[in-house]
Structure 1
Amino acid sequence: KDSQPLVDGTITMLIWLTIICLALQLIDGRRCVIPFHWWRPLRNTKTIIGNCTRIIAAVLSFTLLWSFTWNLGVNGSWSYKWAKSLGDDPLLWSTVVDATYNGPTMDFLRLAHAKTMDKPKDYNKETMEALAKRYKESAQATNEARANNLTDSTVVMILSESFSDPTRAPGVELTEDPMPNIHALEGTTTSGLMLSPGIGGGTANIEHQALTGLSLALFDNSMQSPYQELVPHQKTPYTFNQIWNDAYGKNGSVAFHPYFKNMYLRDSNYKKFGFSKLYSLDSKPPITHQDHIDSSPYVSDAASYQNVLDSINSNDHTQFIQLVTMQNHAPYNDFYADNQFKEADVSQLSDEEKQSIDNYAKGISLTDQETADFLNQLNAVDKPVTVIFYGDHLPGIYSTATKDKNNTLVMHETDYFIWSNQASASAGVKLDPQTAGYVSSNSFMALAAEHMNAKVSPYLEMLTQVQAQIPAISRLISSNDSWGDGSTAYLDAEGNRVKRKDLSKEANQLLNDYRLVQYDMSKGKGYLNDDGFFAVK
């Protein structure tokens, strides 16, 4: 039924096209209302005008089609607006779903060209060589004071689907803490709040930032999903797992996602990133542990963690392990047999909203216990392991809180921590909250290197300096819409929003360097690829 307007519009358009074609045929017949002659195009004035008319019509038709394709992926363009008026509804989290609902042609054309970012005015080879030299020298100075290498440890990067503290959402009151273990852990290890671009969606955008160090805020606002619109056009995108690949070959990194591999084109993108394998429900072989809790449709976090433990225990060298969980993904129905949060919720909200929050809180409670068990098992492993754990975004269930624009920041802040097991040199390390209290996901690897007292590449050195001056930066999607344009937010070390014009001179210089590097990595000529910018020396 949702597609009925599109079907009706298409039928109407075809009827009118048929009528127009029949009318033109009746008017024209064999008389050539628009004269044309192939072999003698200049035989008289009438033929010349007719030939020019047909050529102009062909050129205009081609130009129209080219412009439509070129601008379809650009928010606010004429073709984007026209397509939306005809019922097009971009669904960039899945090409399959987008093609199903909007048609494979629209899906293909939408992804054929996406506006990445404008070329910085000072972008050229000389500028990038000078930039690379500057950060190489800075990285060298940093590394003289650091004793370890990132590859001395296995690093597990966990994107915990929709993980956040429900009690931080305005209007939510629970008499029981749903995540006591992680709250206790946050007091003893590097931790804080992560500024997320979205609410209720956009998982792969936060994931892309964490793996690449690139920021969605620096891309053009038309760039809605780098996994869909950018990575397929890149030949050799850089990601942090490649640090371990350089040390141990392709088996230096592996990924797990207990869902389907085609979501956000993860399967093909992870191959480009250099992961030896993405294990999913439909990979060959499929991900090993797939247990569910009660009637939940998703694989539990405990099962997801077991896949990671198996990988750690079966390898004789360190790895980079990427895990994207699914346990707390929407919908938030009554999946769990014993949900104490139905009684613990004393919020003054509608019954419908409370029901979703109660079920979500139970899932978070289970994740809290499962994560504590996972870390305990890692403590028993006689190998150094560091875990980067973060929630990607809040769930889209807080309808009351999202109506208030004053809640924009808090509705974009999730929990994160960086923790090392007892076999690690960095066990028990907790970075200063002035450094780690507020972050965005693009700085996780730089923070992990600092947490681990590990040497950095010039690229990680730049990210470290950016994070020190601008702790968190993110394009914020409006609080009641998971996809669309949003303003860019800059946070200081206390989590306060800072206007761009109020940033320090040093912060603005770093931001300009960051923009140059991101352009070079995503759309530019790749000057930094052969300059040792990503290597740790």
Structure 2
Amino acid sequence: MSEAHHKKTVRRNSAMREMEKPVFTGPAHHGIRSNRYQKPQLNWFVYIIISISLIFCSTLFAQWGVLAKPEYPTGAQIDPETMFNDSLRGQLLHFVTQMWTDHDFKFLLNFMVLSLIFIVLLLIINRFWICVAIFSSVIIVYAIANHFKVQLRNEPIIPADLNFISGGNTKQIVSFIPPNGISIAIGGVCGLVAIILFCILLQCTDGRKGLIRCSWRKPALMAKSNLKRIVTRFISLIVIAGFLFSFVYSLGNKNSWGQQLADGIADDPQIWNSIGDARSNGAPMAFLRLVHTNTMDKPHGYNKTTMLALSEKYQSEASRINRQRSTNLTDNTVIMILSESYSDPTRVPGISFNQDPMPNIRDIKSQTTSGLMLSPGYGGGTANIEYQALTGLSLANYDSSLSVPYQQLVPKQKWAPSFNQIWNAKRPADGSFALHTYYRNMYSRADDYRKFKFSKFWAMDGKYKLTDINPIDSSWYASDTSTYNAIVDKLGQYHDDSKQFVQVATMQNHSPYDNWYNDNEFKDADTSTGITDDERKNIETYAKGVSYTDSATADFLNKLDQMDRPITVIFYGDHLPGIYETAEKNPSNALALHETDYFIWSNAASASSHEKASQSNYTSSNYFMAQASEHMNAKVSPYLAFLTDMHAAVPAMSVPAASGNANEDNVYLDDNGKKMDIHKLPQSTRTLLEDYRFIQYDISVGKNYLRDTNFMDVPLK
């Protein structure tokens, strides 16, 4: 053996012996152990106490984010005990103490889930104080974001909202911070910075650099004790992370082991009532159950033969309908306007004014196809109603864990048919365009509109950027007048003989409603009863916004009347604003809080001017294009023929939340707005509903058998 090799062997053996030495020597003093080789190290018991305290506080803070302060009517006499129980502190205290008072362990379930997440993070990073800093930061941001979203839209953060950040929408999201939330945001940032700096300081002074002491340097890497620690760390990580992943992945699926385990402890899911789910079952659990979603169950008997038979069936139905129709959809420009949060506030129980906030639209509705639309959302969910209108697909057919198709489904689809593509078939270059007076990446619209094959998407940013867009007084969002002017401007860029499909989403009446408008006559006109002062302020501001929309819409239609080309407008409110707290407390008001206004109107150059289609009192947004086809006496595709028959049988349909009870069946309404009992429907209607599920499954997650048929094709000249 050479001398050099001998020296190398001695050094390696010395290093291995050094690794085998005990980590700690000497006595312990006040939870600190030390030796001459290392900085002071905390006792393991201290780490455990800190971890438990951190997760306990994190569970409470996450829950705080979805709670709301109680609002009482002016002059109401509330006893001190009730006031405390309804306060944020009282609600948080009940969330913890119900383990002993009610044997309800929801707090413990959320604590356990956050503990597993913390342990997995700790095993990955292997640096205790860095892990504490990261975990605390995430919880603080999550809780404060929840607090703001609940204030604005009465719904918590869901996994799909993370697409806003990944899509570069951080700046836009920050703009949603309400004025009274600035101090909370600043406090959160300061607290976040303080925690991070404190953890960095402790990481630098704590001698225990790795919670599980592992060395990755040779020759210590191959030491037996070091290998044992590495293997222990990774086995622990795989086992715990695997359990957590499997639990979360299965949590949103009915009858899965994860759901059964959670239910056995305390969980009581309220899928369609997201805010109720978060407040009752805990914010972390409500969030995690939506991480993995099941789009919809495969219908029994789904196969190519079944779908080809359905295509032929509705081809025959389309031929029957088209024998009675004289025009084509593409003979008209169709403008589909989603009016943000638009609805008649006086239909809400307890809300009234001695001045009508929407006289013009009320008059328009009386002269054309119009009625009420059953919305799946209240206070939010704009993209869902828009999705239904553009595709004809209904959220009622999807699994309850699919909360936002725009973000959870459309980006993954290989085939995404939408009604604007009917115009694209005749004018591939410019058959359809979209316009939204806000930022293009909200709800992943930019990506989804490309998937839907819109030729252009005009928004407040990006390549096709809108100009001359202004708010009203001190409001935050673009006025409807600005939006309508932009539509007229874009239509003016085309020849009079060109026809397009135009998708529009407004922003004027988006929350919050913080006394934006000068000279608001609805403050004096308000005769509402039994509501809180905060409600009254919000409702009065909202009513003024509705009034502005009313006059702007009338002016817009007058301008369209002057154009020498047939134009049809589908106008609808997507959902009610989440400002009716008193009415919302009464479950019997659920339907009223899910009904918005809509109309289908044609200008003077159109043969369908002043037409009023049959059975239009109630609808849901998935039927709009079928109704517009009837209104314009236009020929239909097999798909539109199916939707026409479906609307005749079930005029309106929505998710269980529209009934006020997430555990009930889907909501089906007749043309008088009365609930239809699905168990008492005639066989022909049940067959239509079954066909709907086959069609929707094939388009959404199935084999797309209908794609190679003429199911979506309409007659073209």
Using the alignment, how far apart are the partners of 2:392 and 2:698 within structure 1?
A: 13
Using the alignment, how far apart are the partners of 2:700 and 2:397 within structure 1?
A: 11
Q: RCO greater where, 1 or 2, for CA within 8 Å and sep 6 or more?
A: 1
Residue of structure 2 equivalent to 1:536: 714
Deviation, 1:71, is 3.5
Uncovered stretches (5+) of structure 1, i.e. residues with no partner:
37-50, 94-101
Kept after mapping to 1: 8 A contact 2:587/2:660:
no
Tell me the SS of whatever aligns to 2:433: strand
Instruction: Say if 2:505 is the partner of 1:324.
Output: yes
Residue of structure 2 equivalent to 1:44: none
Give CA-to-partner distance per residue, 1:238-293, whole Å, 9 cap, x none.
10000000010141000011111111100111000001111111122311331111
Say which of 534, 553, 556 aligns to 1:352. 534
Say which of 504, 512, 535 aligns to 2:690. 512
Give CA-to-partner distance per residue, 1:335-364, whole Å, 9 cap, x none.
111100000001122221111100000000
Alignment of 1:439-518 (within 5 A): 439-477=619-657, 487-518=665-696
Kept after mapping to 1: 8 A contact 2:456/2:464:
no
Using the alignment, how far apart are the partners of 1:136 and 1:300 within structure 2?
A: 43
Residue of structure 2 equivalent to 1:5: 58
CA 1:155–1:452 in structure 2 vs 1: closer, same or farther (change >3 Å)? same
Say which of 573, 596, 599 aligns to 1:391. 573
Give CA-to-partner distance per residue, 1:389-435, whole Å, 9 cap, x none.
00000000000101001111111000000000000011110113xx1
Kept after mapping to 1: 8 A contact 2:520/2:541:
yes
Uncovered stretches (5+) of structure 2, i.e. residues with no partner:
1-53, 63-113, 129-207, 215-222, 275-282
Say which of 495, 513, 520 aligns to 1:339. 520
CA 1:4–1:296 in structure 2 vs 1: closer, same or farther (change >3 Å)? farther
Say which of 616, 636, 645 aligns to 1:436. 616
Give CA-to-partner distance per residue, 1:422-457, whole Å, 9 cap, x none.
00011110113xx11100000000000000000000
Using the alignment, how far apart are the partners of 2:254 and 2:401 within structure 1?
A: 5
Residue of structure 1 equivalent to 2:599: 417
CA 1:132–1:355 in structure 2 vs 1: closer, same or farther (change >3 Å)? same
Say which of 460, 466, 473 aligns to 1:281. 460
Q: TM-score, normalised by structure 2?
A: 0.64
Using the alignment, how far apart are the partners of 2:708 and 2:577 within structure 1?
A: 41
CA 1:77–1:431 in structure 2 vs 1: closer, same or farther (change >3 Å)? same
Using the alignment, how far apart are the partners of 1:217 and 1:512 within structure 2?
A: 12
Q: Which has the larger radius of gyration?
A: 2
Residue of structure 2 equivalent to 1:30: 224
CA 1:33–1:489 in structure 2 vs 1: closer, same or farther (change >3 Å)? same
Deviation, 1:468, is 0.2
Residue of structure 2 equivalent to 1:426: 608
Kept after mapping to 1: 8 A contact 2:565/2:606:
yes
CA 1:281–1:54 in structure 2 vs 1: closer, same or farther (change >3 Å)? closer
CA 1:55–1:164 in structure 2 vs 1: closer, same or farther (change >3 Å)? closer
Say which of 396, 406, 414 aligns to 2:588. 406
User: 1:496 is matched by which residue type in structure 2?
Assistant: K
Kept after mapping to 1: 8 A contact 2:437/2:478:
yes
Structure 1, 259-268 or 61-70: larger mean CA deviation = 61-70
Kept after mapping to 1: 8 A contact 2:457/2:464:
no
Using the alignment, how far apart are the partners of 1:245 and 1:425 within structure 2?
A: 23
Kept after mapping to 1: 8 A contact 2:392/2:623:
yes
Deviation, 1:31, is 5.9
Deviation, 1:59, is 7.5
Tell me the SS of whatever aligns to 1:498: coil
Deviation, 1:502, is 1.5
Instruction: Say if 2:309 is the partner of 1:127.
Output: no
Kept after mapping to 1: 8 A contact 2:594/2:658:
no
Kept after mapping to 2: 8 A contact 1:195/1:472:
yes
Using the alignment, how far apart are the partners of 2:355 and 2:652 within structure 1?
A: 30
Kept after mapping to 2: 8 A contact 1:289/1:304:
no
Instruction: Say if 2:399 is the partner of 1:217.
Output: no
Residue of structure 1 equivalent to 2:560: 378
Deviation, 1:32, is 9.3
What percent identity do the matched residue pairs reach?
A: 49
CA 1:75–1:158 in structure 2 vs 1: closer, same or farther (change >3 Å)? farther
User: 1:321 is matched by which residue type in structure 2?
Assistant: V
How many residue pairs match? The answer is 501
CA 1:293–1:205 in structure 2 vs 1: closer, same or farther (change >3 Å)? same
Give CA-to-partner distance per residue, 1:288-327, whole Å, 9 cap, x none.
3311111111000011011111122211210000000000
Structure 1, 257-266 or 68-77: larger mean CA deviation = 68-77
Deviation, 1:487, is 4.4
Using the alignment, how far apart are the partners of 1:322 and 1:485 within structure 2?
A: 34
Residue of structure 2 equivalent to 1:42: none
Q: TM-score, normalised by structure 1?
A: 0.85
Using the alignment, how far apart are the partners of 1:200 and 1:60 within structure 2?
A: 41
Kept after mapping to 1: 8 A contact 2:296/2:399:
yes
Tell me the SS of whatever aligns to 2:224: coil
Kept after mapping to 2: 8 A contact 1:403/1:480:
no
Tell me the SS of whatever aligns to 1:436: coil
Deviation, 1:75, is 8.3
Structure 1 stretches of 4+ with a deviation exceeding 3 A read: 1-4, 6-25, 31-36, 53-66, 68-82, 109-113, 478-481, 484-487
Say which of 104, 109, 117 aligns to 2:296. 117
Alignment of 1:45-64 (within 5 A): 63-64=242-243
Give CA-to-partner distance per residue, 1:160-192, whole Å, 9 cap, x none.
000000100000011000000011111110000
Tell me the SS of whatever aligns to 1:390: strand
Using the alignment, how far apart are the partners of 2:419 and 2:257 within structure 1?
A: 38
Tell me the SS of whatever aligns to 1:512: helix
Say which of 438, 448, 457 aligns to 1:259. 438
Kept after mapping to 2: 8 A contact 1:69/1:110:
yes
CA 1:191–1:55 in structure 2 vs 1: closer, same or farther (change >3 Å)? same
Kept after mapping to 2: 8 A contact 1:222/1:485:
no
Kept after mapping to 2: 8 A contact 1:250/1:274:
no
User: 1:365 is matched by which residue type in structure 2?
Assistant: S
User: 2:643 is matched by which residue type in structure 1?
Assistant: L
Instruction: Say if 2:351 is the partner of 1:172.
Output: yes
User: 2:605 is matched by which residue type in structure 1?
Assistant: A
Deviation, 1:67, is 2.2
Using the alignment, how far apart are the partners of 1:272 and 1:290 within structure 2?
A: 27
Using the alignment, how far apart are the partners of 1:158 and 1:15 within structure 2?
A: 50
Instruction: Say if 2:292 is the partner of 1:292.
Output: no
Structure 1, 470-479 or 170-179: larger mean CA deviation = 470-479
Using the alignment, how far apart are the partners of 1:154 and 1:191 within structure 2?
A: 19
CA 1:72–1:304 in structure 2 vs 1: closer, same or farther (change >3 Å)? farther
Kept after mapping to 2: 8 A contact 1:210/1:442:
yes
